[in-house]
Chain A
Amino acid sequence: MSAAAPGLYLSSTGSYPRIGDSPELQVLRKTIAALDRGERTTADLLDAENEMTRRAIAEQVKAGLDVITDGQIRWYDPISHLAGKLENVKIGGLLRFFDTNCYFRQPVLTGKPVRRDPLVVNEYSFARNALGHLPTPKGKAGKLSIKPVLTGPYTLAKFSHAEQTGNGEPESFASLETRAMAYAEALAAEIGALAEYGAELIQVDEPAAVKFPADWAIFETSLAPLIEARDKAREGGRKIEIALYFYFHDCTPLYEKLVKLPADIIGLDCTYNPKLADLIASAGSPKPLGLGLVDARNTRLEDPEVLAWQIDRMLSKIDGGRAYLGPSSGLEYLPRDRAFAKLELLGKVRAALMGPKGSVK
């Protein structure tokens, strides 16, 4: 965090490319392919995942970020990585993930999805440890943090379906609301566990909520267990915040409702509609925002001066003057070199915001 722009943090929005064009950046792909052929073991896979996770973290640190993720390197996709670890969930066929040209595997519920084991706690612990082993950049001592990421209960439910067995129980999960609440229960337990392990900021992604506003009531209801888990952790002395992130659709029409949600931070994809930045600048926000101003879906680099101007007019209208500048979504949709350039751009925006004399313009 900059002393001259005290409320502006540079933050990852989740994923980072798992691959690059050079041979050493293809270790994960090659290991998975070799594992499929029976030529490697799951221990080799873990090594490769660890290696690429360390690289993702190192690149974020090098780019000057304050809030870092593990790059979600181990995730097959944003849906099945979590749902597949729950009891009574099978993983089915491929479906397109929103308007990306990426695909996820659809969870099929054979009963109530139940969390028996941690979902991302171990991944979070590894990432914290990996960050701790990196040299701390000048001026960043004690200021870098790892943010675990979860896909929210509504989005998980929206992209799952119940197995039609005709024996009664699974069919009760044919309802979107029932699925969302079951996922919420599992995720609430995960939030509690992450808090126990020291996570102070947890990102919960709910891209489907802005894409399918007709389901708003279900989405909103499914947040309650997560918020209760946060509050319980706070009562236990934990310092924890939940950031809800929305992307892959225009957030403008729902803006007023989004900033009233009971999360601590609301992350918004500002690339789908340029009027969203105008709206934030005029209406303000009653809580800190994640500003997804850097397009994570296109390789073209934005002008840092233009983004700095946008932030300058928004920041004073945001409660506490606190905002998290980041990509509009995870960066896995970009080639690695362009993803890193987007992260570097965040630092250039902050530098531009500070002005040539090191003070906010």
Chain B
Amino acid sequence: MSREKLKSLGLKLPLFPTTSVGSFPKPDYLAKARAEFSKGKITADELRELERKATKFWIETQEKLGVDVLVDGEMYRGDMVAYFAERFPGFTEGGLVRSYGNRYYHKPIITGEVEWPGPVTVDWWKYAQSLTKKPVKGMLTGAYTIMDWSFNEHYADRRATAMALAGVIRKEVEALIAAGCKIVQIDEPALSVRPEELPIAIEAMEATTKGLDAYFITHACYGAFEQIYPGMLDLAVDNFDLEMSNNELGLLEVFRRQPFTKDISFGVVDVHSHTMEKEDAVRQRVEQALTILSKDQIWVDPDCGLKTRTVEEAIEKLRLCVAAAEAFRN
């Protein structure tokens, strides 16, 4: 439990702090502008203005809803790995590969030594933080996931790749902290895909965060956590942001057998469903969490990024999170 750490960083958060995982849906005007930019019909500056407008909208929306720890909503990003691969020297854009069905994406290829070109997220964090007095999370993708979701033609093996990336991501973390960021989220959705490689993920996270003065969160989702638990608790972060609703709180049973020793951002709404949960059902999820976890450990948020929902659905899902947290604070 890390409330002391939060306090030492000057962060006064209520019980059951509310937050969200990172991405929000892009408003129609921005989705259209991104398509026009890719066809060369608008300039980078014109696109950037619209991304700033959308970021402002989401900061204001989170404030209005009463969210405690905000995100910039990633209005300027497409894919969570490609964003970094497109900016870090050492990566080359690969050809199209299938994600599922008729969906394809350009999977990055590591073709040389990966380097840090200077901050790639700090300006966006500064802009978002300038719009609110509430803390805004710095949002990064972890070294293990970037490694796993890229081809590698340069490094000797997967561990060497992950460790090289960890060195680069650490520099971005340092830049965020230097800019004033106190809460940094480093996403590792690939964490559980190869349980035997958990030690690599742990080593890479250690190399990314060790000795740095911030409250660290990692988000992981849609994986076989029962296969890497409790070992995953060795990841050098303060808070695990986990999708709990999608698996009907099944992970709580795992935590019952072996105590969960860190803070948890507890996903209480399903992000892949258009169906809106009932307030009672969301409250019950928090109630069930409290049968295993202490009130000091629990943050409340959606299962995963909300970018696949409509703007209206995303706002309502966030509202449900805030309402549930407030019910327990009172």
Residues of A within 8 A of B (CB): 17-21, 29, 32-33, 36, 76-77, 93-96, 98-99, 101-105, 298-300, 332-338
Contact = CB atoms under 8 A, between A and B. Distances in A.
A318 to B, nearest CB: 28
A55 to B, nearest CB: 15
Given A101-B149, A299-B151, A332 B94 contact: no
Contacts of B99: 101-103
Given A77-B100, A102-B98, A299-B109, 16 more contacts: A17-B97, A19-B98, A21-B95, A76-B101, A77-B101, A98-B193, A99-B148, A99-B194, A101-B148, A102-B100, A103-B100, A104-B100, A300-B152, A335-B107, A338-B94, A338-B151
Contact of B94 (A95, A101, A299): A299
Contact of B96 (A20, A77, A93, A105): A20
Given A17-B97, A99-B194, A29 B104 contact: yes
Contacts of B97: 17, 332-335
Contacts of A33: 102
A246 B253 CA distance: 32
B96 A19 contact: yes
B277 interface: no
Contacts of B151: 298-300, 334, 338
Contacts of A20: 95-96
Contacts of A77: 100-101
16 contacts: A17-B98, A18-B98, A20-B96, A21-B96, A29-B104, A76-B101, A77-B100, A96-B222, A101-B149, A101-B190, A102-B98, A299-B151, A299-B153, A300-B153, A335-B95, A337-B95
A94 B99 CA distance: 11
Contacts of B98: 17-19, 102, 332
Nearest to A333: B97
Interface of B: 94-102, 104, 107, 109, 148-149, 151-153, 190, 193-194, 222-223, 272
A105 to B, nearest CB: 8
Nearest to A18: B98
A206 B194 CA distance: 18
Nearest to B105: A101
Nearest to B158: A298
A52 to B, nearest CB: 12
Given A96-B222, A300-B153, A335 B101 contact: no
A94 B98 CA distance: 14
A95 B99 CA distance: 11
A202 B95 CA distance: 30
A95 B224 CA distance: 11
Contacts of B194: 99
Q: Which 4 A-B pairs rank lowest in CB-CB distance, beginning with the nearest?
A: A335-B95, A103-B100, A99-B193, A299-B151
Nearest to B106: A335
A7 B104 CA distance: 38
Contacts of B102: 29, 32-33, 36
Nearest to A21: B95
- Residue among A18, A93, A299, A336 with max Cβ neighbours from chain B (10 Å): A299
A65 to B, nearest CB: 21
A300 B190 CA distance: 21
A109 to B, nearest CB: 20
B12 to A, nearest CB: 39
Nearest to B194: A99
B195 to A, nearest CB: 9
Contacts of B100: 77, 94, 102-105
Contact of A298 (B95, B149, B152, B193): B152
A103 B98 CA distance: 9
Contacts of A101: 99, 107, 148-149, 190
Contacts of A32: 102
A332 B97 CA distance: 7
A18 B100 CA distance: 12
A96 B193 contact: yes
B95 A338 contact: yes
Nearest to A30: B102
A92 to B, nearest CB: 12
A42 B135 CA distance: 52
A336 to B, nearest CB: 6
Contact of A335 (B94, B148, B190, B272): B94
Contacts of B152: 298, 300
A335 B102 CA distance: 15
A185 to B, nearest CB: 28
A98 B192 CA distance: 10
Nearest to B193: A99
